[in-house]
A and B are shown apart, each in its own frame.
Chain A
Amino acid sequence: MSLPSVVPPPPTDEGALTAEQQRYYAASQWQLIWWRLRKHRLAMVACWVLMALYAMIPFVEFVSPYAVRSRHQDSVYFPPQRIHFFHDGEFLGPFVYGHTMTINMENLRREYQEDRSRRYRVRLLVRGEPYRMWGAFPSDLHLFGVEEGGTLFLLGTDRLGRDMLSRTIYGARISLTVGLLGITVSFVLALILGGLSGYRGGWVDIAIQRLIEVIRAFPELPLWMALSAALPPRLDPILVYVGITVILGVIEWTGLARSVRGKLLAVREEDFVTGAILVGASTAYVIRKHLLPAFTSHLIVSATLSIPRMILGETALSFLGLGLRPPITSWGVLLSEAQNINAVALYPWLLLPVGMVVLTILSFNFFGDGLRDAADPYA
């Protein structure tokens, strides 16, 4: 179906409408946005990636091959393992080779050799390390894993022999939700303060605008750093997590508040709003029924585009050691172990979580960009 890029002239004759046109004219705003978004290939791909990532969050225990804290003492700094399909030219299905470890007596580094005589099949839905699903249901079923006796470290292991892939998957739970919680905080702040500023005007407006200006004058990252340094060091990890999301939200709301105010000021002057006020609609009714729907789509777009900034903010803070700290596993925490260039040079797979961060950020940006194009269905 091809949608006209400008609104076609209103039909003069009801009977002349094709079924397609009727559908177009009868469609709600959200339907139109969805139709346009669907045509944006890159945005749709990004949308699927994001949905897959977020769908994974409740089931990380099941999806990851190992438990997040389990250490494999005899596989410290194990390089990423390859899954093989053929052994001596014979197709065996997915399997990994066993390995033996020797310590190089010259530089005291562990070296791993592939032991081609031992083969372990990689299977879907295997029994592995026990865990408690959502902290309640005991289970040991994993989405994929390796036969008893073998190891499966697709992204290698870290200095304690913890599987990087499992840690990255667990880290997604924290890193991805930081953005959502942070945006909720800044959304609420922006709606209240931006709304007040735009609807009330006068000195309230001036005061709020000044405040926004001051916050925006600060370079973002140093301000985040200073605020998270103010969190007490011995705080409960969960509270640190909440604290960081609040800090991210408290700084990020200004941009959103500005667009709320700008949109409110524009819509407030529209004829249909004046009309509603003249026939006696209450303020709350006007805001709910006439003002909010007029710019919800714009708000959602701005929100989508600020989520990646918050995810990056968390990653940067944790990377610097000012954000989340080790019992919690987030991508920033994982990357903080890659801060030392010497460690990275020896064990480059420690950098692999960067890929996940970039994938997420890119997806959010592409999706938000497509959404922005689609949000104005009449344009």
Chain B
Amino acid sequence: MLRYVIYRLLLMIPTLLLISLVTFTIIELPPGTYLDSLISELRASGETADLQKVEFLRKQYGLDQPVWVQYWRWLSGLLQGDLGYSFEYDRPVSAIIGEHLAMTMVISIAAILFTWMVALPIGVYSATHKYSGADHGLTLLSFMGLAMPDFLLALVLMFVAFSVFGVSVGGLFSPEMQAAPWGWAKILDLLKHLWLPVLVIGGSSTAAMIRRLRANLLDELKKPYVVTARAKGVPPWRLLIKYPLRIAFNPFISDIGNLLPHVISGSVIVSIVLSLPTTGPVLLRALRTQDMHLAGSFLMLLALLAVIGVLVSDLALAMLDPRIRQGGGRSR
């Protein structure tokens, strides 16, 4: 097992390097930087004190150096935990990122938990009651869930909540809780606001998971061992839980890797629609104003989250399934 963990960790290094290269290239694509426009603005207004600071930052992050030097400084900074400087917010990126990234993770993890909690009973019910009325209904519902674009769903739900119930569902906190220190009251308030984004973001992956669990379980239920166990008089519930369900469970774990990028993607745009304090709105702003360190580090961390998700799911699978850890690695 240890060998497998080390193998997987080593494999992450080239992937992450490539990801950082791609990220940096994309961020460098647009001509000009935020700093350029800032400098010309400062020159016009004749503020020299700020100008010196900008010059200092320019030196510090090597913005006057060739591109590959900039890349190296950015990368080595990343490795030491220095995510660069946001020129727009005039603060280090790490100060901005922390809270937003934490909220992104809270929402993503909640969405995944929601997916599991809803998909498991419905998937099992659909498979054991194949072609019943409820199964057909649930199938249609999950197809709708798959097809409904999440940000449009958020928009429509927000409109319905606003016009029918007269409540504004945007944001993650009530206005009076916004600045309050963390405590039970604030967590409760967060939970009160969390359900809508979680429902919207988790909706489509839940639908996909139901389909997959149903298909897997149906395959298992046909196998001879199930027939044998039933013939020998094992009670239906015990039979279901003891073997077929455990095997059909695999996608729940192996799918975290696919689920996480999807969920993060969804959370970005849904957050913008619902104005949640996650990475989404900040990333959009940073991209618009070409605040390159902020956008780049955000993109990098989002990709890192996804890569870690894949790693965790692979390790969990390896723990479940000895064939994988002895094979040394699974091509994903």
Q: Do A and B come from one complex?
A: yes
**Contacts A229-B287, A312-B149 known; A220 to B163 CB distance under 8 Å?**
no
Q: Which residues in chain B, 252-287, are within 8 Å of chain A measured between CB atoms?
A: 261-262, 264-266, 268-269, 272-273, 283-284, 287
One of B24-32, B192-200, B318-326 at the interface: B24-32
Q: Which residues of B contact A213 (CB under 8 A)?
A: 15, 332
CB distance from A260 to the nearest CB of B (A): 16
Q: Are A219 and B273 in contact (CB under 8 A)?
A: no
Interface string of A208-245 (1 = CB under 8 A from B): 01110111111111110111011010000000000000
One of B56-64, B217-225, B303-311 at the interface: B303-311
Interface string of A361-376 (1 = CB under 8 A from B): 1100110010000000
**Contacts A222-B265, A222-B268, A365-B143 known; A217 to B19 CB distance under 8 Å?**
yes
Q: Which residues of B contact A357 (CB under 8 A)?
A: 149, 152
Q: Are A222 and B302 in contact (CB under 8 A)?
A: yes
Interface string of A32-59 (1 = CB under 8 A from B): 0000000000000000000000000000
- Measured CB to CB, the nearest residue on chain A to B32 is A232
What are 7 inter-chain pairs, A to B, with CB distance below 8 A?
A217-B15, A218-B306, A226-B295, A232-B31, A308-B147, A320-B284, A354-B152
Q: Which residues in chain B, 15-38, are within 8 Å of chain A measured between CB atoms?
A: 15, 18-19, 22-23, 26-27, 29-31
**Contacts A222-B299, A341-B162 known; A358 to B149 CB distance under 8 Å?**
yes
Q: Are B143 and A366 in contact (CB under 8 A)?
A: yes
Q: Which residues of A contact B307 (CB under 8 A)?
A: 217
- Measured CB to CB, the nearest residue on chain B to A359 is B147
Q: In the bound complex, how far is the Cα of B168 from the Cα of A160, in angstroms? A: 27
CB distance from B203 to the nearest CB of A (A): 13
One of A189-197, A267-275, A343-351 at the interface: A343-351
Q: Are A358 and B152 in contact (CB under 8 A)?
A: yes
**Contact pick for B15, options A214, A223, A316, A362, CB 8 Å:** A214
Q: In the bound complex, how far is the Cα of B273 from the Cα of A38, in angstroms? A: 40
**Contacts A229-B287, A230-B26, A354-B155 known; A218 to B302 CB distance under 8 Å?**
yes
Q: In the bound complex, how far is the Cα of B283 from the Cα of A354, in angstroms? A: 25
Does chain B have a CB within 8 A of A319?
A: yes
Does chain B have a CB within 8 A of A338?
A: yes
**Contacts A214-B15, A226-B26 known; A219 to B303 CB distance under 8 Å?**
yes
Known: A219-B264, A230-B30. 7 other contacts (CB 8 A): A218-B261, A219-B268, A220-B265, A223-B26, A229-B288, A357-B149, A361-B148
Does chain A have a CB within 8 A of B170?
A: yes
Q: Are B26 and A341 in contact (CB under 8 A)?
A: no
Q: Are B299 and A223 in contact (CB under 8 A)?
A: yes
Q: Which residues of A contact B29 (CB under 8 A)?
A: 227, 230
Count of B residues near A, CB < 8 Å?
A: 51
Question: Taking beta carbons and an 8 Å cutoff, which residues of A are in contact with B?
Answer: 209-211, 213-223, 225-227, 229-230, 232, 308, 312, 315-316, 319-322, 335, 338-339, 341, 344-345, 348, 351, 354, 357-358, 361-362, 365-366, 369
Q: Are A210 and B15 in contact (CB under 8 A)?
A: yes
Does chain A have a CB within 8 A of B158?
A: yes
Q: In the bound complex, how far is the Cα of B33 from the Cα of A237, in angstroms? A: 23
**Contact pick for A344, options B26, B146, B155, CB 8 Å:** B155
Q: Which residues in chain B, 160-176, are within 8 Å of chain A measured between CB atoms?
A: 162-163, 168, 170
Does chain A have a CB within 8 A of B156?
A: yes
Q: In the bound complex, how far is the Cα of B148 from the Cα of A319, in angstroms? A: 16
Does chain A have a CB within 8 A of B151?
A: yes
Q: Are A219 and B18 in contact (CB under 8 A)?
A: no
Q: Which residues of B contact A209 (CB under 8 A)?
A: 331
Q: Which of B15, B143, B159 has the most CB of A within 10 A?
A: B159
Q: Which residues of B contact A339 (CB under 8 A)?
A: 155, 273
Does chain A have a CB within 8 A of B67?
A: no
**Contacts A227-B26, A345-B163, A354-B156 known; A316 to B295 CB distance under 8 Å?**
no
Q: Are B149 and A219 in contact (CB under 8 A)?
A: no
Q: Are B147 and A362 in contact (CB under 8 A)?
A: yes
What 4 pairs across the A-B complex have the smallest Cβ distances? A230-B29, A229-B287, A221-B265, A219-B265
CB distance from A78 to the nearest CB of B (A): 19
Q: Which residues of A contact B23 (CB under 8 A)?
A: 226
Q: Are B152 and A335 in contact (CB under 8 A)?
A: yes
Q: Are A316 and B303 in contact (CB under 8 A)?
A: no
CB distance from A292 to the nearest CB of B (A): 24
Q: Which residues of B contact A358 (CB under 8 A)?
A: 147-149, 152
Q: Are A219 and B261 in contact (CB under 8 A)?
A: yes
Q: In the bound complex, how far is the Cα of B30 from the Cα of A101, in angstroms? A: 48
Q: Which residues of A contact B288 (CB under 8 A)?
A: 229, 321-322
CB distance from A40 to the nearest CB of B (A): 13
**Contacts A219-B268, A316-B151 known; A341 to B261 CB distance under 8 Å?**
no
Q: Which residues of B contact A320 (CB under 8 A)?
A: 269, 272, 284
Q: Which residues of A contact B69 (CB under 8 A)?
A: none
Does chain A have a CB within 8 A of B144?
A: yes
Q: Which residues of A contact B262 (CB under 8 A)?
A: 219-220
**Contacts A316-B149, A316-B269 known; A351 to B31 CB distance under 8 Å?**
no
Q: In the bound complex, how far is the Cα of B156 from the Cα of A351, in angstroms? A: 8
CB distance from B74 to the nearest CB of A (A): 15
Q: Which residues of A contact B298 (CB under 8 A)?
A: 222
Q: Are A225 and B284 in contact (CB under 8 A)?
A: yes
Q: Which residues of B contact A321 (CB under 8 A)?
A: 288
Q: Which residues of A contact B168 (CB under 8 A)?
A: 341
CB distance from A46 to the nearest CB of B (A): 11
Q: In the bound complex, how far is the Cα of B26 from the Cα of A227, in angstroms? A: 6
**Contacts A316-B151, A316-B269, A358-B148 known; A217 to B310 CB distance under 8 Å?**
yes
Q: In the bound complex, how far is the Cα of B274 from the Cα of A339, in angstroms? A: 10
Q: In the bound complex, how far is the Cα of B29 from the Cα of A321, in angstroms? A: 18
Does chain A have a CB within 8 A of B14?
A: yes
- Measured CB to CB, the nearest residue on chain B to A338 is B155
Q: Are B302 and A219 in contact (CB under 8 A)?
A: yes
